[in-house]
Amino acid sequence: MTRDLEATPAVALAVAVFAASTSAILVRWSAAPSSVVAFYRVLFTTVLVAPIAVTRHRAAFARLSRRDLVGAVAAGIALAIHFASWFESLNHTSVAASVTIVQVQPVFVALGAALLLDERISRATGVGIVVAIAGAAAMSLGDAGSGALTGATTYGNALALLGAVTVAGYTLAGRSIRQRVPVFPYVTVVYGACVIALFLLVGAQGHPYVGYPTREWLLFLGLAVGPGILGHTVSNWVLAHLESVVVSVAWLGEPVGATLLAFVLLAEVPDAITVGGGIVVLAGVAVTTLEREQSLGND
């Protein structure tokens, strides 16, 4: 029984990564502006989680310290920038390149965790991070030459990199605050701040808030239930049980899943370099996760 309970965060993390792998596909299928897609994804996710937070964790909101509240709002703004930049990058580069580049976040998470959260990185974990990122880079290089769209562009890759930096900040904030705040109250505040930020962005860009066909609304809802609830919300729960570096490196599995889905659903065919890079990514994730489990067993 104890072993099963210890495995639960790892299983939940695997589900979250798989669910998130569908995000890029759903965004690509949408014809709505990227900021509108991001806005409704987070809005619908908030509508789904807020009732649970309010009915079951009402006291937790009252116990929120000013520091945790400010941190959660900052995390929400970082998440808004992440979604806006990453979704837009998918309009300028391929799924494999965009999703892979955004997952260089462990570099920024590792630095932030060492500076802010006093989380030491072992040599083996560092090797796992380097291996995973090397595989991610290989996937991008392979995709750039595959002609899946028009080739990876500098602008699209830069947007994906911005998404990596901001989601690292979001991850670090979650790792810190989730030690004290239950997952549903935390994500409700984070998603609420994210919704407001994206609402303002949509208005600033002059996009309409309504008037989209039924197909678009179904895609918005799919993004909320899949990547939103099963992806990011489950990942926030996992952050209370695993170190932020481990969670971030595990998310490097997302490019593999997204690339496979793009192959099946969008006819974006990865070449040998992209496939090889995906294998290396998974190897890096395995090294990091196994090292973490071993260190916990020795405590």
pLDDT at 220: 96
Per-residue pLDDT reduced to its tens digit, 221-238: 999 999 988 987 788 788
Q: Are 160 and 93 in contact (CB under 8 A)?
A: yes
Structure tokens at 69: 């509240």
Q: Is the pLDDT of residue 94 over 90?
A: no
Question: How long a stretch of residues is the chain?
Answer: 299
Structure tokens at 138: 């290989």
Place of tokens 């210890």: 6
Q: Is the pLDDT of residue 295 over 60?
A: no
Instruction: State how far the alpha carbon of 76 is from the alpha carbons of 46, 82, 115, in Å.
Output: 12, 10, 21
What's the pLDDT band for 141 if we cut at 50, 70, 90? low
Whole-angstrom distance, CA of residue 98 vs CA of residue 24: 9
Q: What are phi and psi of 147, to 5 degrees?
A: 70, 25
What's the pLDDT band for 289 if we cut at 50, 70, 90? low
Q: Which helix (H) or strand (E) holds 62?
A: helix 58-62
Degrees to nearest 5, angle at CA 286 with 280 and 290:
155
The residue with greater pLDDT, 23 or 251, is 23
Whole-angstrom distance, CA of residue 110 vs CA of residue 261: 29
Whole-angstrom distance, CA of residue 284 vs CA of residue 278: 10
Whole-angstrom distance, CA of residue 183 vs CA of residue 49: 10
Per-residue pLDDT reduced to its tens digit, 154-185: 788 789 889 988 988 888 888 778 778 887 88
Q: What pTM was estimated for this model as a whole? A: 0.80
Whole-angstrom distance, CA of residue 265 vs CA of residue 217: 20
- Asked which of 14-18, 149-153, 269-273 is least confident by mean pLDDT, the reply is 149-153
Whole-angstrom distance, CA of residue 105 vs CA of residue 245: 9
| Side-chain half-sphere exposure of 170, counting CA atoms within 13 A | 27
* DSSP-assigned letter for residue 252: G
How crowded is residue 267: how many other Cβ atoms within 10 Å of its Cβ?
8
Cβ-proximal residues to 112 (8 Å cutoff; 6+ apart), any chain: 168, 169, 172
- Cα-only R_g, the chain: 18
Q: Is the pLDDT of residue 16 over 70?
A: yes
Nearest to 40 by CA among 181, 232, 220, 257: 220
Degrees to nearest 5, angle at CA 235 with 86 and 286:
90
